[in-house]
Amino acid sequence: MRLRNLLLRWLLIPTLLLWAAGFALSYLRSLAQAHEAYDRTLLGSALVVSENLAVADGEVVADLPYAALEMLRTDAQDRIFYRIASLDTGSHITGYADLPPPPAVPAAEPLFYDAAYKDQAVRIVALRTTLPEGGAQRQLLVQVAETLDARHQLTRRIVSEAAAVQLLLIALAAGLIAWGVRQGLAPLKRLRSEVRARGAHDLTPIDTRAVPREVAPLIHAINTHTERQRQLGEAQARFVANASHQLKTPLTVLRAQVDHALMQTELAAMRQVLTQLNETTDATGRLVGQLLALARSEPGRTLEVTAFDLTELARDATFELLALARSKRIDLGFEGADAVPVHGEAVLLRELVTNLVHNALTYTPEHGRVTVTVAQHDQRAVLTVVDNGPGIAPSERSKVLERFYRAPGTQPQGSGLGLAIAQEICARHGVTMTLGEVPGGGSGLCVALLWPAQDPAPT
């Protein structure tokens, strides 16, 4: 559906209807006026006839020379008939005896009526006149009839002339409307050419000042959409660059370890290298998982939001790392009995908890303690991961949230992505993450996650 056609249709149809109504009205009006004018002439003829009546020898005579009647004719084609009758006796006096009588006897006013005479439609006027005869008065009826040729001809002329003028006007108006619509749509055309002329990578917003005000909201929406696409594209490019860079190191290590293993001749030595290889494979697997989580939590991607119980999710994620805790003889505990309902993308929130617990287990020395707690305070879900490891110096706390940053001197292997991912997942879910001191003092780190009061559906 073209906007131009739509506009033309809704402008032209009402205009045509209006013109049709106007045409009908003016046609009927001019017809009535023409009719009135002809009736007046007809009445004039009847008056001439009545003025030329006289009584001679007791007889009424119409002194109407042919030329006089000829002059009465309104048009050369029309024929005129007249008839004089006595109103006293009702008898015919002179003229055409069979002229159709009036529907009623006219009073003071003349009476007009339509009838058929000699197989032709005629318009007749009937009037009453008095003729003095000695001391008495004679009451006479004068009828003058006229054929309708002239009237019909005039009607035809009125119709054809009016139709020609109206048609011309309609054609003019249609042309003007089409031109107007074209002019009105010109800014949209310009916009189209501007957008078409853009390069494939040009994602800059379209200038809304140059477009009509009605179209501006649409352009705004498109601009917003384009901006989101741009961010998404940027994020993806960044991700690909980061991911390939990050994967290079563990793959090189793996390659070296495999070479090293192949060089061993003794089974015991080979076993030792294979154990290392196993660990590197685990770490690489974790890195791939983290990179995927990073890709999923990028702004611009729509989250797959569901409602779930945070307690259950956090407990599962915690106990999945039980083996790691055992290998370091860390006392890993979970506190939280009641269900705490939240909304979000479960896979991401699970990754978030895993990253925090994994950090706590990684950086807490052997025989340490790590406790995960889920609770609800003032309608807000709260999750804490507390360890009794070295903690993070306050000056480092904002830096460790950056991608690939690791606090100086950090021992166990890692890529520095865990907390950056955690931070990004929190931002997408409206969750506030704070790194702080352990409650009650002592060394260690307390990471607290605070859900928003309303737990609105994340964006």
Ligand X SMILES: Nc1ncnc2c1ncn2[C@@H]1O[C@H](COP(=O)(O)OP(=O)(O)OP(=O)(O)O)[C@@H](O)[C@H]1O
Contacting residues toward ligand X, per CB under 6 A: 290, 355, 359-360, 363, 387, 389-392, 400, 406-407, 410, 414-420, 445
Q: Give me the least distance between CB of 385 and ligand X, in Å please.
A: 8
Q: Which of Mg ion, ligand X, none interacts with 390 (beta carbon under 5 to 8 A by kind)?
A: ligand X
99 vs 392, beta carbon nearer Mg ion: 392
Stretch that binds Mg ion, among 55-63, 101-109, 322-330, 412-420 (CB under 5 A): 412-420
134 vs 408, beta carbon nearer ligand X: 408
Q: Give me the least distance between CB of 231 and ligand X, in Å please.
A: 23
Q: Give me the least distance between CB of 416 and ligand X, in Å please.
A: 4
Q: Give me the least distance between CB of 363 and ligand X, in Å please.
A: 4
Q: Which of ligand X, Mg ion, none interacts with 445 (beta carbon under 5 to 8 A by kind)?
A: ligand X
Examine residue 246 and tell whether it contacts Mg ion (CB under 5 A): no
Q: Which of ligand X, Mg ion, none interacts with 45 (beta carbon under 5 to 8 A by kind)?
A: none
Q: Give me the least distance between CB of 233 and ligand X, in Å please.
A: 25
Stretch that binds Mg ion, among 27-35, 101-109, 137-145, 352-360 (CB under 5 A): 352-360
Examine residue 418 and tell whether it contacts Mg ion (CB under 5 A): yes
310 vs 330, beta carbon nearer ligand X: 330
Q: Which of Mg ion, ligand X, none interacts with 452 (beta carbon under 5 to 8 A by kind)?
A: none
Examine residue 74 and tell whether it contacts Mg ion (CB under 5 A): no
278 vs 398, beta carbon nearer ligand X: 398
Nearest to ligand X by Cβ — which residue?
418
Q: Which of Mg ion, ligand X, none interacts with 389 (beta carbon under 5 to 8 A by kind)?
A: ligand X
Q: Which of Mg ion, ligand X, none interacts with 420 (beta carbon under 5 to 8 A by kind)?
A: ligand X
Q: Which of ligand X, Mg ion, none interacts with 410 (beta carbon under 5 to 8 A by kind)?
A: ligand X
93 vs 446, beta carbon nearer ligand X: 446
124 vs 419, beta carbon nearer Mg ion: 419
Examine residue 430 and tell whether it contacts Mg ion (CB under 5 A): no
SS (H, E, C) the chain: CCHHHHHHHHHHHHHHHHHHHHHHHHHHHHHHHHHHHHHHHHHHHHHHHHHCEEEECCEEEECCCHHHHHHHCCCCCCCEEEEEEECCCCCEEEECCCCCCCCCCCCCCCEEEEEEECCEEEEEEEEEEEEEECCEEEEEEEEEEEECHHHHHHHHHHHHHHHHHHHHHHHHHHHHHHHHHHHHHHHHHHHHHHHHCCCCCCCCCCCHHHCCCCCHHHHHHHHHHHHHHHHHHHHHHHHHHHHHHHHHHHHHHHHHHHHHHHHCCCHHHHHHHHHHHHHHHHHHHHHHHHHHHHHHHCCCCCCCCEEEEHHHHHHHHHHCCHHHHHHCCCEEEEECCCCCEEEECHHHHHHHHHHHHHHHHHHCCCCCEEEEEEEEECCEEEEEEEECCCCCCHHHCCHHHCCCCCCCCCCCCCCCCHHHHHHHHHHHHCCEEEEECCCCCCCCCEEEEECCCCCCCCC
Question: What phi, psi does 130 have (nearest 5°)?
Answer: -115, 140
Binding site for Mg ion (CB under 5 A): 359, 418
